[in-house]
């Protein structure tokens, strides 16, 4: 029997993911107030690893206290946070998944209340003692106006990301993913809608890309043989913003700077009318994949993935190398095992089904 493409292994640098299904980073706003992993995280991510995901990427983890999206974001801005992440990695590895973590800084969208009704925060002014910072003093609609970072602060961000990445590797993560999407700080620098600087980190396309490329280079050095990825919003879905063509042009530069895998999403930098539908972001991933074809850099796609057959078709047609499935996995942590069964493969055992779960394969 031919193994479905979705269930084939995926080489990532020196690591091998057991299949091509990713759990993408989804903020849960459940950390201790000092950014430390709690038992809840271990259960949450461990369950998705036991459920068969090849790669589990832990939610956006702040590289500095100021970069948090809420007081209950995970962090890796200090050494005291490493031990908790090590426990989290151990739980993910125990069920055979690669463990990844997304490192980010919220920029002008930091310090704003998430969807949790019990979160502490305020849209106006400062939150928990930190001020909002961004490439330019341009507010995200409805949020407080950020302070423009000066050149010294911008340059310091490179080391801030690198240090956090070093802690991630110390915790045992296989993959470090930089958050360059959804309107957060690195995306803000990339987009002309949020970056109005006229210095070396703005003014031109090359200037707006400078910080992201410098961060990738520094983090590449910091993580050694670990896998380095970056998540991108390929388009702002708004006139004058980032386009799929521009992101495809950026992709080889990111690979040249040291990125091993590109995770393609869209939007989030400005309010926009987004044509959400099954697989609506796949064409952007396909364009990026074409742009890095010469280096065979894996590209991950994400966004309204509703079935195993849909995901399989994306991979078979060469539009991406892996598929990330987020919201459905919140309610179905064993979604990969269910999809393996849906594809009719007799090799579902190879997906790491825990022995106590075997009887579930025949359940309706």
pLDDT in tens, 91-104: 999 999 999 999 99
pLDDT band at 126 (very low <50, low <70, confident <90, very high): very low
pLDDT in tens, 247-266: 999 999 999 999 999 999 99
Say if residue 165's pLDDT is above 70.
Answer: yes
Exposure string (b/e) for 178-193, b if CB count within 10 Å is 16 or more? bbbbbbbbbbbbbbbb
pLDDT band at 136 (very low <50, low <70, confident <90, very high): very high
Say if residue 354's pLDDT is above 90.
Answer: no
Say if residue 121's pLDDT is above 80.
Answer: no
In 3D space, the residue among 327, 246, 339, 260 whose CA is nearest the CA of residue 299 turns out to be: 260
Q: Distances from the Cα of 354 to the Cαs of 50, 63, 174, in angstroms?
A: 7, 35, 22
Mean pLDDT over 7-14 rounds to 96
pLDDT band at 120 (very low <50, low <70, confident <90, very high): very low
Say if residue 319's pLDDT is above 80.
Answer: yes
The pLDDT value given to residue 163: 98
Average pLDDT, rounded, for the chain: 92
Instruction: Please tell me which residue, 263 or 33, carries the higher pLDDT value.
Output: 263
pLDDT band at 347 (very low <50, low <70, confident <90, very high): low
Say if residue 58's pLDDT is above 90.
Answer: yes
Task: Give the percent of the chain with pLDDT over 90.
Answer: 83
Mean pLDDT over 106-125 rounds to 60
Q: Is 201 a catalytic residue?
A: no
Instruction: Please tell me which residue, 168 or 132, carries the higher pLDDT value.
Output: 168
Say if residue 177's pLDDT is above 90.
Answer: yes
Bridge-partner residues for 309, per DSSP?
A: none
Q: Which of 45, 140, 184, 201 is catalytic?
A: 184
Tell me which CATH code domain 5-362 carries: 3.20.20.70
Mean pLDDT over 311-323 rounds to 98
Q: Which of 4-8, 163-167, 356-360 is modeled with the greatest confidence?
A: 163-167
The pLDDT value given to residue 2: 79
The pLDDT value given to residue 142: 80
Say if residue 313's pLDDT is above 50.
Answer: yes
pLDDT band at 116 (very low <50, low <70, confident <90, very high): very low
Domain range annotation of the chain: 5-362
């Amino acid at each position: 029997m031919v193994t479905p493409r979705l269930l084939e292994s995926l080489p990532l640098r020196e690591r091998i993911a057991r299949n091509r299904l990713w759990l993408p980073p989804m903020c849960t706003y459940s950390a201790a107030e000092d950014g430390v992993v709690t038992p809840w995280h271990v259960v949450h991510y461990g369950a998705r690893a036991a459920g068969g995901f090849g790669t589990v990427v832990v939610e956006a983890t702040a590289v500095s206290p100021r970069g948090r999206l809420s007081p209950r974001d995970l962090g890796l801005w200090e050494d005291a946070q490493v031990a908790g992440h090590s426990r989290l990695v151990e739980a993910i590895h125990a069920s055979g998944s690669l463990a990844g973590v997304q490192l980010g800084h919220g920029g002008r969208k930091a310090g704003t209340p998430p969807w949790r009704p019990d979160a502490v925060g305020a849209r106006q002014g400062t939150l928990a003692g930190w001020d909002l910072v961004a490439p330019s003093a341009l507010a995200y609609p409805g949020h407080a106006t950020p302070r423009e970072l000066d050149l010294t602060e911008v340059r310091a961000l490179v080391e801030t990301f690198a240090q956090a990445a070093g802690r991630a590797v110390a915790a045992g993560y296989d993959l470090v993913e930089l958050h360059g999407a959804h309107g957060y700080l690195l995306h803000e620098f990339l987009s002309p809608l949020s970056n109005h600087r006229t210095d070396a980190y703005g003014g031109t396309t090359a200037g707006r890309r400078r910080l992201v490329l410098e961060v990738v280079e520094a983090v590449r050095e910091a993580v050694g043989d670990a896998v380095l990825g970056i998540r991108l919003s390929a388009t702002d879905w708004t006139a004058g913003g980032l386009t799929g063509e521009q992101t495809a042009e950026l992709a080889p530069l990111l690979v040249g700077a040291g990125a091993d895998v590109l995770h393609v999403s869209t939007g989030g930098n400005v309010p926009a009318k987004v044509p959400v539908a099954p697989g609506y972001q796949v064409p952007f991933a396909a364009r990026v994949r074409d742009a890095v074809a010469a280096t065979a850099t894996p590209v991950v796609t994400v966004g309204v993935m509703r079935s195993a057959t849909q995901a399989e078709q994306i991979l078979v047609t060469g539009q991406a190398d892996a598929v990330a499935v987020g919201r459905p996995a919140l309610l179905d942590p064993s979604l990969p095992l269910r999809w393996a069964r849906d594809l009719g493969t007799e090799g579902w055992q190879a997906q790491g089904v825990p022995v106590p779960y075997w009887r579930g394969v025949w359940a309706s």
